[in-house]
Structure 1
């Protein structure tokens, strides 16, 4: 991709070429997708009366899958092209363009019982005191085995980690193109020399990792 990784233009191109916020490389997993842990936990915390805020919603997959089973599903993203797809995928939900900074737009005002962040925007954490209900839960999944700023930001706003999971599954990128695209996405350097030295019959081995955190406000 020509735009800088994880810029608005870069995400807009994902929306146009892939139809949403999808990893643009092929991969082969030797175990369950580690993000399934987030799915199981999200099902566990949702209730029919829940009011949910979806931070960095992308093209709205969680709103489409889970939003019809709760009282209210509101979501935001900073990429208009992804929001256009989200509105088509989940017309029952409310979507708003926002980057987590500045005044909270009216459609995103709470209080929310559940705040979720599947795609890693930790910028929602400093806003939890004004967005979340007193006994709300925050559920996060990040793209690495450990994302230290999650705990740091939660502590700074008086929230505590109830539980966390570090999930790692053996994976392979089957082609050089897949491996280089993954390197761009993860902002990790890749080289042909490394590829030729480490590639196997199944492709380049690596670990598909997730850091999942469940948190709530600390009781006074």
Structure 2
């Protein structure tokens, strides 16, 4: 991809070429997907009366998968192309265009019982007290074992961690093109020389990492 990673043009291209916000490289995991921890916690906190706000809904995979298990699923994203796909993928959910900056749209003000962010914008933390029901929970997953700014920002708005999970699974990028795309996606430097020095018959080994956090009001 020629557009700067995680720019609006880059996300629009993902929507066009991959049909959503997906990892644009092939990977082979030697163990369970580390995001299963997030899935399990999300499922545990869904009830028929739960109202969910999803920050960074992307093309709507979680709304399509989990939306029927709760009373209301509302998502927002800054990328119109992804929201168009989300509305088609999860027609029972609600989706709104917002970049997490400035005044929050009225339709996103809740109250919500569960606020979720699967690698989505951490800026939603600044709005938790405005959107959250009294006993609400915030569930987040990030792409590295530590995301220090998340617990720090939570403390700044009077929320505290109820649990943290760090999951790491060995993974393989089978080809140089896959490895190059992965490094671009993760904003990591690489070179063909590095690939040639470390790749083997299965490709290049790396750790697929996730940091999962569940929080509530302190």
Quick check: TM above 0.5?
A: yes
Give the secondary structure class of the aligned counterpart of 1:160.
Answer: strand
Q: Does 1:178 align with 2:178?
A: yes
The residue correspondences of 1:75-94 to structure 2 (distance < 5 A) are 75-94=75-94
Counterpart CA distance in 2 for 1:125 and 1:109 is 13
2:57/2:75 contact within 8 Å kept: yes
For residues 22-44 of structure 1, give each alpha carbon's deviation from its aligned partner in whole angstroms, at most 9, with x where no partner exists.
00000010000101110000000
Offset at residue 119 of structure 1 (A): 2.0
Runs of 4+ aligned structure 1 residues displaced above 3 Å come to: none
2:172/2:203 contact within 8 Å kept: yes
Offset at residue 108 of structure 1 (A): 1.0
Q: Please list every run of 5 or more consecutive structure 2 residues that lacks an aligned counterpart in the other structure.
A: none
Aligned to 1:201: 201
Counterpart CA distance in 2 for 1:95 and 1:144 is 27
Give the secondary structure class of the aligned counterpart of 2:92.
Answer: coil
Offset at residue 107 of structure 1 (A): 1.7
Q: What is the alpha-carbon root mean square deviation over aligned residues?
A: 0.7
2:57/2:120 contact within 8 Å kept: no
Aligned to 1:110: 110
Q: Please list every run of 5 or more consecutive structure 1 residues that lacks an aligned counterpart in the other structure.
A: none
Q: Does 1:164 align with 2:150?
A: no
Offset at residue 204 of structure 1 (A): 0.3
Q: How many residues align?
A: 218
Counterpart CA distance in 2 for 1:94 and 1:140 is 20
